[in-house]
Structure 1
Amino acid sequence: MRLIQYQDESRLRVALVESATQVRPIRVVGGSYGLAHLAIGCQQSIAEIIEGRLEAECLDYQQLIDAGCLLPPLTHPDPAHCLITGTGLTHLGSADTRSAMHTKLANSSETELTDSMRMFQLGVEGGKPGIDEVGVQPEWFYKGDGNWVVPPEAALTSPSFAEDAGEEPELVGLYVIGEDGQPWRVGFAVGNEFSDHVIERQNYLWLAHSKLRQCSYGPELLIGELPAHLEGVSRITRDGVTQWEKPFLTGEANMSHSIANLEHHHFKYAGFCRPGDVHVHFFGTATLSFADQVRVQPGDRFEIEIPAFGRPLRNPLIQEEEAKLPRPIGAL
C-alpha cells in the first residue's frame, strides 16, 4: 500500500495510489499527519483506518503533478516541528565494493583504518543485534527542519557558497511522535539527501556543514513491511538525455545495520520524542555520482527510482546566484 499527499485548493489531502495513473482520495482531515494521529488514537493500523474512508472517484496522478499540487508524503503543520536527520556508513554497497572493503579490513591493522572505515567495521560487526539487544550506534547527522524540504518534482537549490550539489539516493523512514512520547513509524519513502561532497572530502570534520542543505523525499509513502532486498536506479539527466546512471541496493539485506538498530539510536534521546513532532530519517546511501567524478550543473535533473515505491523521485537543480556576505550580528 502506497500513499501520496497533495494540496487541494486550501486543503491538505492524502490519497491511496491505485495505479501508475490513478490515486483515490481518503476522507481524513490534516493529510497524512492527521491520518497517522487518527491511527494512533484508534489503536489501529493506517491500513485499517483507510478502510471505509476511500472516496468513490479517483484522480489523475499526472494532473496533480502538472498542477504543482504534489507534496512530500508526510509533513507537519509547523515545519519547525519536522526534524530531518540521518545515518551514514550503513550500506554494504555492490558486491565488488563490499569485497574490496572486506579485503582492506582484513589486511589492515586497527591503526591504519580511517575513522570512516572503522565506523563501517563496527557496523558490520555489531549493527544487527538480536531481538531485545542493542547494537553499535551508527554515524548520525542533523540536516535541518521541515523548511529545508523540497516537494517531489520541485527544484533543489544549491547555496551560492556550496562547492558541490550532489545527490544521495536513500531509503527514508517517516515517523510521528504520539502524545505520550512514543515514536510511531508511518512508513518509508525514497529520498534524495542532497549534500556537498567537495566540502566533506576536504575535511571529514566538515561533514555537518555538507549536510546543511535542502532535501526531498517521496512522492509515495510505503505503508507496512519493508522488503529486505530493494533494487533501485539513480540517474542524472540533462535536457532529457541521461548523463549518468547507476543501480543501487538497499533494504536490510544490503545494510550493515538493521532498521530497528538505527531507529533505537535515534529515538533513545528524549529530545527526539517530543509529542506531535514529525521525524524524517535518512538511512544512508549505497552510491552517488560524485564518486564517479560526475559534476552536475544547474538545469540537471536527479531521478531516483525504486520500483517497490512506485513513481520515481525527481528534482531539477538550480543554483542560488547571490553571494552570501558575512551577516552582521546584532548585540542586545
Structure 2
Amino acid sequence: MLFFPPLSLTFGTEGAMSLLSIAVAVLQLYYVAVRVVVQQLFSRALPTPEFPVQKGAVAFVTGGGSGIGYHTAKHLAKLGMHVIIAAHNEDECRQAVRTIKEETQNEKAGVMLVPKRETVDGFEEHFGLNYLGHFLLTNLLLDTLKKTGTNRYSARIVTMASAVHYAGELHLDDLQSSCYYSPHGAYAQSKLALVLFTYHLHHHLTEEGSHVTANAVDPGVVNTELYKNTSWPVRLVKWMTSWLFMRTPEEGAATTIYAAGAPELEGIGGCYLYNGAKTQSSDLSYDEELQRRLWTASCKMTGVPDVTGICAGK
C-alpha cells in the first residue's frame, strides 16, 4: 500500500497522481466486487445437503452464535456430531446452544466494513478477526486434528471465504492498513488472506502425509448482520431487495455443511467451493510465494511456531 504524505494530497503533480492512484484502485475494487456479487445474486442457492448420521465426529464452529455459523452448527448437530460453538458474544453463544439442543435433541451441542478500529491485541479489526484469529486457532488445534484424522476419515478444516476476495490485494508491507485505510479494501484483503492461508496449509498437510484436509468455501451473497456497518443507502437497498436476491443464512450455510460432511470430499482439500462445487478462486490466491510470505508474517504476528518450516529454510 502506498503512503501518502499530508502535502501530497493537496499540492503539485505528485499529489494529483496520488489521488488518481487511490481513485483507480478504489474503482477497480468496486468493479470486480460488483461484477462477482451480481453474478452470485442471480445464481441458484445450493439446497441444504443431507448426509448419513455421523455420530462420533466433532465439529468446532466459529461464529456459531448467529447467521451462517449458527445454521451450520445446527445442521451438523442434527447429523449427530458433537458440536462446539465459538463466538465473541457469550450470551448469544449460550442461547444458540440452548436452541440447537431443543431443536435437534442433540445434547452435544466475523465483521465486515467496520470503521477503522483495532482488536484488543492491536490488530486492524478486519485482518485480526476475519483472518488472524482463524490462523491462530487452526495452528493451536493442528496437532489434535492430525491425531484424530485417519485413513478412512480425514479431519477437515473449512474456512469461510467470500467472493469479495476476487477484488482483494495483499499488502505485506502494510497488513494493518495503517498507511491508507479503506473498509472495503481491508475486508477484501482479509478474505484473500483466508484463501491463501487455506491453500498453503493444505499443501503442507499433504506433503506431511497428514490425514487432514483444508478447503475454503464461498457462501454466496447472504442476508446477515455483517451489513450493519454499511452506509444507510446500502442498508435501505438491502432491506428492500434482500428477500428477492439474497440468500438466507440457512441457504448460505449449505456449502459449509457440504464441505464439512460430504462423503465425496473425503481426503480432498486445497479447493475453493461455491454452491457445492469446486470453483476457480482469484489468480492471486494461487501465488505460492505470496502464500509462504503471508504464512511467515502471520506466525510472527501471532507468536506461533512455523509448522511448515519456512523460517527454518525448509
Using the size of structure 1 for normalisation, the TM-score is 0.27
